[in-house]
Amino acid sequence: MTKIVATLGPASANLHTVLQLIEEGVRIFRINFSHGTFEEYDQSLNTVRLASKKISTAVGVIGDLSGPKIRIGDVIKDGVILQKGDEVIFQKKELITGSKGSKQSKDLIFSTNYPAFIKEIQNGQQILLDDGNVRLLCRQKKGKGADQKLICEVVDGGLITSHKGVNLPDTSLSVPALTEKDYRCINYAVKREIDFLALSFVRRAEDIRLLKAYLKKLGVRQFDPLRHREQYHKVRKINDQRTDIIPIISKIEKPQAIDHLEAILEETDLVMVARGDLGVEMDLADLAVLQKRIIRMCHSYATPVIVATQMLQSMIESPTPTRAEVSDVANAIFDGADAVMLSGETAVGKYPVETVQMMNRIATRTNEFLQIEHFHSSTPQKLQEMRYRTPALAHGVKSIVQDMKASFIIMWSQMGGGALYLSQQRIPLPILAFSSNQQALRQMSVLYGVTPFYMAKPSSNSEFIRQVDRMLLQKKWAKKGEAVVFVMGEPIDRVGVTNNISIHYLGESDN
């Protein structure tokens, strides 16, 4: 029911491991564009596609854009140690910190990869290095033009090596949402038909609109896919193999994103609670509350949500997680996450397969506990306001399957929009979503409760019911006489129109 996202890396980007990860429950793989080359991305993507084909399972791929990550410049090989009370200077000219052969404070001069760094930071603002492990305060600006410098004081010290990340929680930055590398990665993602793009360091809705506008120029974003798929048939002719859409995942990891969350949800297709940078830039004690707040607001907007970062972090080195990590994964599911994500655990960890096995076990037990409660969850507010046909049907299906004690919900969802609406009702039953569109199947792989299946487009609704009836009985997923609920359009080949609910008893005539 809850989907598992796994990050590919040296520990997992080979066919044998990818096949194992899919068999253990991974339904979406993440390629992190912050690391590696386009040749390596190609190898990873080809491996996932081949594995997916080998075991006939729809598996999505997320391309995670690097975004405007600020990093310090070069530091001597062994790094430099910053001690509490040290004076640290940032300058515009590039240099190698500590290159004079000393690690004393007089040599603690850094540069960064962000040209406006010194201009935009003000006195009294924090500068966090290495995921917040080292904290500085800006005390003074000196000089002008190319010679301008920031004079800072070390509040919390530590070892700093080359290219460590910089977080500026108090500073309003003018850095654009997309870098030159991001644009190259977007072009690559469109060319290779990657299924999702994750936008890093989202601060406001304008960041998402910038990405949408560029995708539209590339011909893959003519409208918002998850909110307006009912109108898709009016926009262009459907290709049975592609959607010509790349949904956008907005990564919530900046304080400004929290301030503009509703506006972001009006624009985005999915959300990722990226707890790494979010926990650095905001009070760590607020993180659990923020997670719940973001997920609840996503539910209100019928927006799928992924929870990420350090979920089973100790399994990078250990074959078993801590008790706190197990509770963390379960609590994300209790909060209502559609998917939970593994990062370093599967990218560089020693136990990628065991980690997925553990996450699957936790998710299965948690969802079993939630079965009754989910029937009483409310319909997303924004779905009610849309007054679209499909969300209304989805709400009706929820009542029907509870009354009928149905075993499955089955639908024909050519573009995936109908599957989204059903998924966001949080119905505690498997939703079997069939489509002849390969990319739509992969994009449905992130949705709570949805299992996508390929099927050549049937000639009629009756033929669709007959084929699924035969499949369920042959696979012994259900017994003759069990009730299932079909959700589809009439006629079935009319894209964007879901207007029919049928109660069917397996093994009986569909008439």
Q: What does the pLDDT look like over 381-400, one tens digit per residue?
A: 665 565 555 666 777 888 88
pLDDT (tens digit, 9 = 90+) per residue, 305-321? Answer: 999 999 999 999 999 99
List 63's β-bridge partners, or say none: 31, 197
pLDDT band at 278 (very low <50, low <70, confident <90, very high): very high
Q: In this structure, how many other beta carbons lie within 10 angstroms of the beta carbon of residue 138?
A: 22
Mean residue pLDDT across the chain: 88
3-67+177-371 is classed CATH 3.20.20.60: yes
State what percent of residues in the chain have pLDDT above 90.
68
Determine the Cα–Cα distance for residues 302 and 269; give it in Å rounded to an integer.
9
State what percent of residues in the chain have pLDDT above 70.
88
Same CATH topology for 3-67+177-371 and 70-167?
no
381-505 is classed CATH 2.40.30.10: no
Return the structure tokens found at 65.
Answer: 């854009």
295 touches 336 (CB < 8 A) = yes
| Predicted pLDDT of residue 62 | 98
| Predicted pLDDT of residue 375 | 55
Alpha helix segments (H runs only) across 375-482: 381-386, 389-404, 417-423, 438-444, 461-474
pLDDT (tens digit, 9 = 90+) per residue, 183-195? Answer: 999 999 999 999 9
Residue 209 reports pLDDT greater than 70: yes
C-alpha to C-alpha distances, 161 to 71, 97, 165, nearest whole angstrom: 11, 9, 10
Tell me which fold the domain 70-167 belongs to. M1 Pyruvate Kinase; Domain 3 (2.40.33)
pLDDT (tens digit, 9 = 90+) per residue, 62-75? Answer: 999 999 989 999 99
Among 33-47, 316-330, 339-353, 407-421, the minimum mean pLDDT is found in 407-421
135 touches 50 (CB < 8 A) = no
| Predicted pLDDT of residue 432 | 97
35 touches 71 (CB < 8 A) = no
Amino acid identity for residue 268 in this structure: T
Sequence ranges of the domains in the chain: 3-67+177-371, 70-167, 381-505
